[in-house]
């Protein structure tokens, strides 16, 4: 294990995947299984909701117990966002040093912005569920939806940007490296589709980010230092 951590500089950071997985499972259990056509999940449809009609359709038939579960899932998400945010900050700090690429340090402030946006997103989600009734006035709900939309796009757009940043490093000569680079750049491409608020575009966009996140976690666990010079530099750091 000790040698593995020495030769795999991101492996210690990759361990954060365990609490992230536990948070994800907990939220999946709590969030409703229903979702509008075109969206892959309830929470994605909720986060990207733009109109009061979409909210009414999303919450149709929900009782108090369902809203309690939704709120519990959003509270758990605070732990999830802090964990994945820490993963990103540590990963890009380490990557900038291991690969000696200073531009990768830019991933740190972007990660912080993503974390803050996700915090505000959760706050607005909780406010909406807190005031919602089938008779809630549009004048009350619309301002919250507008703020939610901004926070949501800063979060997901920031994630697309951070993966695009790492795609520059991943574009190597090896076939696997090129594959990594393509996966990391896809969210930025799909964001152009999602910004139209098309449900299918939003779904493809968010799924591509989830895939890129899984790849980055996998990368953190399998990337191995191949030269003595790199190993000495990593140990010194």
- Please give the average pLDDT of every successive group of 10 residues along the chain, which has 237 residues: 76 94 97 91 96 95 96 98 97 92 95 98 97 94 97 98 87 63 92 92 96 93 69 46
Determine the pLDDT at residue 174.
59
Radius of gyration of the chain (CA): 19
User: From CA 9, how far away is CA 92, in angstroms rounded?
Assistant: 12
Q: What is the pLDDT of residue 225?
A: 78
Helical packing angle, 52-59 and 138-170, nearest 10°:
90
pLDDT score recorded for residue 214: 94
Q: Is 38 left (phi over 0), alpha (psi -120 to 50) or beta?
A: left
Collapse the DSSP code of 200 into the 3-class scheme (helix H, G, I; strand E, B; otherwise coil) and give the result: helix
C-alpha distance from residue 159 to each of 31, 67, 102 (Å): 22, 28, 19
CA atoms of 138 and 112, how far apart (whole Å): 33
pLDDT at 3: 76
CA distance 60 to 186: 34
CA distance 131 to 141: 8
**Residues 6 or more apart whose Cβ sits within 8 Å of residue 202:** 38, 39, 44, 48, 194
Contact (CB, 8 A) for 176 and 128: no
Model confidence, pTM: 0.90
**Whole-number pLDDT of residue 182:** 87
In this prediction, residue 177 carries a pLDDT of 65
């Amino acid at each position: 294990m000790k040698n593995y951590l020495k030769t795999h500089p991101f492996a210690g950071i990759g361990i954060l995947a365990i609490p992230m997985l536990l948070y994800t499972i907990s939220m999946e259990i709590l969030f409703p299984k229903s979702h509008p056509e075109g969206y892959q999940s309830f929470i994605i449809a909720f986060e990207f909701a733009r109109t009061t009609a979409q909210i009414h359709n999303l919450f149709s038939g929900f009782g108090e117990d369902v809203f309690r579960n939704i709120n519990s899932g959003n509270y758990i998400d605070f732990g999830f966002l802090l964990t994945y945010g820490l993963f990103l900050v540590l990963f890009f700090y380490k990557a900038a040093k291991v690969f000696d690429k200073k531009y990768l340090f830019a991933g740190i402030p972007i990660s912080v912005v993503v974390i803050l946006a996700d915090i505000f997103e959760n706050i607005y989600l909780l406010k909406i569920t807190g005031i919602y009734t089938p008779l809630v006035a549009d004048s009350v709900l619309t301002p919250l939806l507008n703020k939610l939309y901004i926070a949501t796009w800063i979060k997901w757009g920031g994630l697309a940007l951070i993966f695009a940043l790492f795609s520059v490093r991943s574009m190597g000569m090896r076939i696997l490296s090129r594959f990594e680079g393509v996966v990391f750049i896809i969210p930025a491409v799909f964001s152009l589709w999602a910004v139209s608020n098309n449900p299918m575009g939003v779904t493809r966009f968010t799924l591509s980010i989830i895939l890129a996140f899984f790849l980055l976690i996998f990368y953190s666990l399998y990337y191995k230092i191949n030269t003595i010079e790199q190993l000495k530099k990593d140990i010194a750091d």
